[in-house]
Amino acid sequence: MIAIVDYGMGNLRSVQKAFERTGLNAQVTNIPETIKKADALVLPGVGAFRDCMANLAHLELEDTVKSFIKTGKPYFGICLGLQILLTSSEEFGISKGLDIIKGSVVEFNKNMPDPQSGEIMKIPHMGWNTLENMKQSPLFDGIKDGEYFYFVHSFYIKPSDMAYASSTTGYGIEFVSSIWKDNIVATQFHPEKSQTAGLKIIENFGKWIKKC
């Protein structure tokens, strides 16, 4: 069973439906014991980093998530589920993350010009964009370089060690759009909103679980 963490934020049902469409058994839960027994963990989300961490702490799930990752079983972070892996975020002041991956979460420059047109880029970064500079990752089997995925975010991660970056995406600047570290995979984009390519990402995660 795959546990999808319910911490009171995010489009949990659409994530669960996407997993079910690929034939994977995914259960939305906020019960620590259920999470501990799961074969894999998915933490999706949209919204503020600070609120996400506060909700995890309030539900006594912060340590549960960290302990689960330490077991070596697969973890898949989506959007906020990627960002909270970092040491801290500058959203609404400095907020502490799980500190599993050293680095910070920073805001796009609101006065950032488009490199081609010179026009000011719209923030949040919302809509379809490509994955570039893709490296080997359990999620990317059958995904070609330049494939389009759906994004919606105003902040992006800056890991201290770029060796964990499995793809980048250009939006005024080049930012890290996915990572892979040991039993952790995570994406800034939303596979559950990314149609056929997104379902392929989820299917690949299911195959990876069986190998771990």
pLDDT digits (tens, 9 = 90+) for 63-94: 999 999 999 999 999 999 999 999 999 988 89
Residue 57's pLDDT band, with cuts at 50, 70 and 90, is very high
Could you give the CA distance from residue 75 to residue 26 in angstroms, rounded to a whole number?
13
Residue of 62, 79, 125, 153 marked active site: 79
CA distances from 87 to 10, 80, 84, 127, 178 (A): 21, 13, 8, 27, 16
The number of folded domains in the chain is 1
Does 46 score more than 90 pLDDT? no
Does 137 score more than 80 pLDDT? yes
Does 51 score more than 80 pLDDT? yes
CATH number at residue 62: 3.40.50.880
**What is the model's pLDDT at position 10?**
77
Q: Return the DSSP state at 203.
A: H
Asked if residue 52 lies in contact with residue 91, where contact means CB atoms within 8 angstroms, the answer is no
Q: Return the DSSP state at 59.
A: T
pLDDT digits (tens, 9 = 90+) for 158-192: 999 999 999 999 999 999 999 999 999 999 999 99
**What is the model's pLDDT at position 43?**
97
**What is the model's pLDDT at position 116?**
80
Where in the sequence is the domain holding 14, given as residue range(s)? 2-211
Does 79 participate in catalysis according to the annotation? yes
Residue 32: CB atoms within 10 Å = 16
SS3 155: strand
Q: What percent of the chain is predicted at pLDDT more than 90?
A: 86
Does 52 participate in catalysis according to the annotation? no
Does 115 score more than 90 pLDDT? no
| Pair of tokens at residue 25 | 């058994």
Residue of 62, 91, 147, 192 marked active site: 192
Residue of 147, 153, 190, 203 marked active site: 190
Does 212 participate in catalysis according to the annotation? no
